[in-house]
Amino acid sequence: MARVKNVIRVTVGDVAELAGVSRSAVSRTFTPGAPVSAGTRERVLSAAKELGYRPNALARSLTQSHTNIVAIVMGEFDNPFQPWMFDALTRHLHRGGKMPMLVTVDSTGDPVEPIFRALDFRVDVLVVAAGSLPDESVAACIESGVPVIMLGRSVETDIVDVVLSDNHMAGAQAATTLINSGHQRLAYVGGSENRLASKERGEGFVQALNGMDCPLSQMVFCGSYSYQSGYEAALSMLTLDKKIDGIFCASDSLAFGVMDAVRDHLGLKIPQDLSVMGMDDVPMSAWPGYGLTTIRQPVNKIAEFVLERIDYWSVPGEKKPVLQRIPTELIVRNSVRLG
Amino acid sequence: MARVKNVIRVTVGDVAELAGVSRSAVSRTFTPGAPVSAGTRERVLSAAKELGYRPNALARSLTQSHTNIVAIVMGEFDNPFQPWMFDALTRHLHRGGKMPMLVTVDSTGDPVEPIFRALDFRVDVLVVAAGSLPDESVAACIESGVPVIMLGRSVETDIVDVVLSDNHMAGAQAATTLINSGHQRLAYVGGSENRLASKERGEGFVQALNGMDCPLSQMVFCGSYSYQSGYEAALSMLTLDKKIDGIFCASDSLAFGVMDAVRDHLGLKIPQDLSVMGMDDVPMSAWPGYGLTTIRQPVNKIAEFVLERIDYWSVPGEKKPVLQRIPTELIVRNSVRLG
DNA sequence: CTGAAAGCGCTTACAG
DNA sequence: CTGAAAGCGCTTACAG
């Protein structure tokens, strides 16, 4: 047996010897679908068990066309939605027998080197949380030659999968909720102006509003989804127009910032004086301190779909990327005044 | 060149051929410290560049005693400290040239299988966020035969590294802060009673209090670090004793729960009527809505130390595990009434 | 169904 | 410093 760092590693050879079969036979019993007679299978299995054998995934990967490693490429966790999405993703990957390898791109560091380092391990797929990533990193992923599943951001090419929440639907859901409960002067607080998601959520909101004869009163893009941005946006927006009675934010963290600014600085009560809606439905939204009525991005459904696509890409043949929109859900809590 | 999934993979052989040298020579120029003449190195490098060659990390790992893969074993993200710590960890790992492979243990799923799956990839080290992990998972890590660096929880054995915040110091810092600003009736809200961290923080708090002739008035362990637990603990605790004027919580999320319960249900003002302190210093603590005075767990220092230990374990020889305590820091904001 | 052989892409002694 | 050879642990055609 191979001796590595004080640990004896059991190999196919050891198991073959103990079971009295060839190494091929051992390999086959650990390869689902490979031909092995019940007898040898049993002897191999018992030998393997006795020795504590598990196939070396590295060696196996070297001869196969896949590694079962999936890279998850992310920016910084500057928004509670990201760890939330990330958590759902890793759980689903595990369920699908994949191991997630994490690539975080630092805004200060090299935007592509970490991606290459993951590629060195021949990851099967790059799952890219593109929303929070520098353009160069996104480009590196697309050009990597490895299947890419892009989350929350559309891209110029049509060679990668794109999965997005149905942002127009989300905007419409927010608009309907606010209008149906009698709000009249509405505003939208977006994140980054040049990100599709923020734009689409705003469009969906405005279009639905227009359809109900209630033009949008104010709209501001604050560059990011952060709490801080929401805080500042609320202050400047409500100073400009004190009659606003409902705000839809493009993310929950923006909404939290808006709520705190409104309560602490403007002395308004939520939802009596002003209603606030968010988008994401991170766990914090349910905290009684916020009780945020929001539009849920169904992270589990997104993760499920990602897993489906990983499986799709893993079988050889002609491949067509897709652009998939995942329906959003209205979650009613206490931050919107009722009728 | 090897053809894999429509992607041409360049190998040492290709580079060797183009550069007109042996494959060994190519390998050596990519091995820091290996003997290569300036001439061949240069020819190899330019050939490699022309071909877009990068060594296959899988193949390389097969012949070396390490893989540069580090497993991070975690429970669920049920507390904002976890993604926060996790983020710091992965960034430092990248800086140290390591790739993090994530292992999440589901409370519903098998507590050990995911760990074995990571071990199949011959990870160099298991970094275990033990605090949030089932005992069986922790045991599996310890028995894995791979170096283990355990975070936030002590263990029975002395064969693994343990790194902990200096919880006694943290408790003392909280006590001093509260006493120096004139508080008189203090309480402690811990997480799980049988977790070292919660116990130590409480001990440090109580001992320091006693040293200042101010016995603790109430102490409750609520089983977890969650917001929800804090919320409920505050309600029951303050119903029992309305004169409490300061609470130290074993985590920020507990503190957020306490604050919201106190403000929403008990109608008390923070910090005028009641002071609240937390521990962790997650980003949310700085949000104006909470403005939590807290004891920081220095995640970057912890991550740095973890990286040091990974390097320590990576060189062969006699190895001694350590138990390291990382000093905590008082962060003053607005949730503690001043003098 | 089974085993011997070749090969995955790399590195490491071993001679020179 | 350099190259030929052997080997890391596995799997995959290929004969049987």
Mark the nucleotides of strand D covered by protein, meaning any atom under 7 Å from a CB.
1-5, 7-13
Q: Return the pLDDT at A5.
A: 43
Q: What digits encode the pLDDT tens for the residues A213-250?
A: 999 999 999 999 999 999 999 999 999 899 999 999 99
Confidence check: pLDDT of B169 > 80:
yes
Q: Which nucleotide lies closest to B25 by the C1' atom and the CA atom?
A: D2
- Of A91, A104, A231, nearest to B90 by CB-CB distance is A104
Are β-strands A293-296 and A329-331 bridged in parallel, bridged antiparallel, or unpaired?
A: antiparallel
With b for 16 or more beta-carbon neighbours within 10 A and e for fewer, the A58-84 pattern comes to: bbbbeeeebbbbbbbbbbebbbbbbbb
What pLDDT was estimated at residue B270? 95
Distance from CA of B69 to the nearest CA of A (A): 9
**Contact assignment for A287 to B119 by CB distance below 8 Å:** no
Positions 50-89 of B with beta carbon below 7 A from strand C are 53-56, 59-60, 62-64
DSSP β-ladder status, A186-190 and A246-249: parallel
Report the chain A residue with the minimal C-alpha distance to residue B146: A7
| CA–CA dist B288, A256 (Å, integer) | 10
Confidence of residue B174 (pLDDT cuts 50, 70, 90): very high
Residues of chain A with pLDDT under 70: 1-8
Summarize pLDDT for B200-215 with one digit per residue, the tens.
999 999 999 999 999 9
As beta bridge partners, residue B187 has B218, B247
Chain C positions with an atom below 7 A of a protein C-beta are 1-5, 7-13
Distance CA A294, CA A296 (A): 6
pLDDT band at B6 (very low <50, low <70, confident <90, very high): very low
Q: Check A5 against B62: CB less than 8 A apart.
A: no
The pLDDT of residue B155 is above 90: no
Alpha-carbon separation of residue B293 from B123, B174, B270 (angstroms):
39, 9, 11
Question: Percent of chain A beyond pLDDT 70?
Answer: 98
Closest CA to A166 of A277, A318, A296: A296
Per the prediction, chain B carries an average pLDDT of 93
pLDDT for B48:
95
What whole-number distance in Å separates Cα of residue B216 and Cα of residue B251?
18
Specify the length of chain A in residues. Answer: 339
- Alpha carbon of B44: minimum distance to chain A alpha carbons (Å): 19
Chain A residues within 8 A of B263 when measuring between CB atoms: 289
Chain A closest CA to B210's CA: distance in Å? 34
Distance CA B197, CA B152 (A): 7
Distance in Å from the first CA to the final CA of chain A: 74
What own/partner pairs with CB < 8 Å and gap ≥ 24 does B182-185 have?
B182/B337, B182/B339, B183/B245, B183/B246, B183/B275, B183/B337, B184/B214, B184/B245, B185/B217, B185/B241, B185/B243, B185/B244, B185/B245, B185/B246
Distance from CA of A335 to the nearest CA of B (A): 14
Closest chain B CA to residue A290: B260
| Mean pLDDT across B39-45 | 95
What does the block give as tokens for A212?
A: 């109900």
- Measuring CA to CA, how many Å separate A112 from each of A92, A137, A139, B195? 26, 5, 9, 41
Residue B105: predicted pLDDT: 93
Q: What is the pLDDT of residue B156?
A: 82
> Which pLDDT score, from 0 to 100, does residue B7 have?
56
C-alpha neighbours within 13 Å on the C-beta side of residue B210: 6
Chain B residues within 8 A of A106 when measuring between CB atoms? 91, 94
Q: Strand, coil or helix: what is B161? A: strand
Measured CA B150 to C1' C5 distance, in angstroms: 46
Residue of B nearest to A117 (CA): B99
**Which of chain A's residues have a Cβ under 8 Å away from the Cβ of B104?**
87, 90-91, 94
State whether B101 and A99 contact (CB < 8 Å).
Answer: yes
**pTM for the structure as a whole:** 0.93
List the single residue in B100, B261, B316 with the smallest CB-CB distance to A102: B100
The reply to whether A11 has its C-beta less than 7 Å from any atom of strand D is yes
* pLDDT per residue as tens digits for the range A78-121: 889 999 999 999 999 999 999 999 999 988 889 999 999 999 99
- Chain B interface test: which of A103, A117, A231 (most B C-beta within 10 Å): A117
Residue ranges of domains in chain A, CATH in brackets? 2-55 (1.10.260.40), 69-165+299-327 (3.40.50.2300), 167-297 (3.40.50.2300)
